[in-house]
Chains A and B, each alone.
Chain A
């Protein structure tokens, strides 16, 4: 890079992001809807004993959010846990192709086995936000972690930093992407797509700021746990009947 190029780059650097905002302003202010982000704080509850591992949620998520169809891009996915008599546990994502359950394996090889739906935990203290070098990922007032795909460099720091493996690099834009709790549905009062299609009600979505919400009631009625509590990420996805082996 020569001096000239450097100067050009430096001059263009600051306004670039700003122009975007101007373009947005020009295209008209928000259509005057009375949605107030600050008065909500969203979370999800998952009842392990109800999950039948049918993957309706995974497919609905992909269809609703235009997630690449290849079987290694997921905003939500389901893991099968199999606990051996020795205490050792075997974990696999049932949505990754070519890793179908070994039909020959005898049921008696395991003391217990169950499904665990996983997704972004929408942490109150998200490590992904802390590590982003350009501030492209942030938490909204209503408690959802989003990615600004125009700012994201695709450096993958956040993918590394996420303790829950919830992020992926979108192969089309080469930017990080993840679950948004179906933000575009939630602000319209709809349920996230995965919650909508769950046949057994294993997923519960709600507002932690509303005493009457299903989620608050769920958290009151069940002993709930979060994943990797020792990391102090304060996840907002709460699991009921969580087995000690689940990581």
Chain B
């Protein structure tokens, strides 16, 4: 049987093509160009040179040994610096140029401490809406050594209601003794020695008057009113219960 001519020609073309490809693949191309190993090494090397962004806690110790020492003694000893401050390799290399953020916001700490039933039992959790609202956590807890602050319980023993009310008010951070000079004897025989009570509008004005000295923390944070016109000349506690001043009557 004779093979048709067009098939013969086609076979030649196919044969030549095949030869070219095979020669190209096995003779002309050096074997290292098609080796899978090489692609893999290239990938690995690309992976290896990727930039490191988290320096690791040991990197901070050189310059912030005070913080490191403080933290190592507290409840937060297991926490990485950069877990709170974010990746800080750039800062560690050039502290002047790049500064890591410090999470001072009240929203931050609850990522770990908000009550969540799925968290392991025993892990310290708080009810964020009830636990000293309004205040950033760091006004009471040091972020690097967050011992729960010891509030003087000596007034709460007998004035529990007032203590609890004040604890959730905007005056939470003011000690009772800021407003009541309390003789030591009051705690033993309360009725014989009574503490003082603020008597003048000017007392509250010490922190709240528009012209109050803006020096220390508590005074700086206090919202200001014009003592001359605000609430006419009534005592402040006519309208503001001093232990819960935002609840106006």
Contact = CB atoms under 8 A, between A and B. Distances in A.
> Which of B40, B54, B111 has the most CB atoms of chain A within a 10 A radius of its CB?
B54
Interface residues of B, number: 44
Interface stretch (A161-169, A194-202, A219-227): A194-202
B82 A53 contact: no
A146 interface: yes
A167 to B, nearest CB: 16
A144 B50 CA distance: 16
B231 interface: no
Contacts of A14: 24-25, 29, 33-34
Contact of A190 (B45, B56, B83): B56
Nearest to B43: A148
B202 interface: no
Interface string A165-202: 00000000000000010011101101101001111110
Given A24-B42, A54-B112, A60 B120 contact: no
B80 interface: yes
Nearest to B58: A190
Range class of the A interface residue count: 35 or more
B53 A196 contact: no
Nearest to B36: A135
A115 B118 contact: yes
A56 interface: yes
B228 to A, nearest CB: 47
B212 to A, nearest CB: 41
> Which of B32, B76, B117 has the most CB atoms of chain A within a 10 A radius of its CB?
B117
B86 to A, nearest CB: 7
Interface of B: 21, 24-25, 29-30, 32-36, 38-45, 47-54, 56-57, 76, 78-80, 82-83, 86-87, 111-112, 116-120, 123
Interface of A: 10-11, 14-15, 17-22, 24, 30, 37, 49-56, 60, 63-65, 80-82, 101, 107, 110, 113-115, 135, 138, 140, 146-151, 180, 183-185, 187-188, 190-191, 193, 196-201
27 contacts: A10-B21, A14-B25, A15-B33, A21-B42, A22-B33, A51-B120, A52-B123, A53-B118, A53-B119, A56-B111, A60-B82, A60-B83, A64-B52, A64-B53, A64-B87, A113-B117, A113-B118, A115-B118, A150-B39, A180-B47, A183-B44, A183-B47, A183-B48, A190-B54, A193-B54, A196-B82, A197-B80
Given A64-B53, A146-B43, 5 more contacts: A21-B33, A21-B42, A53-B116, A82-B118, A183-B44
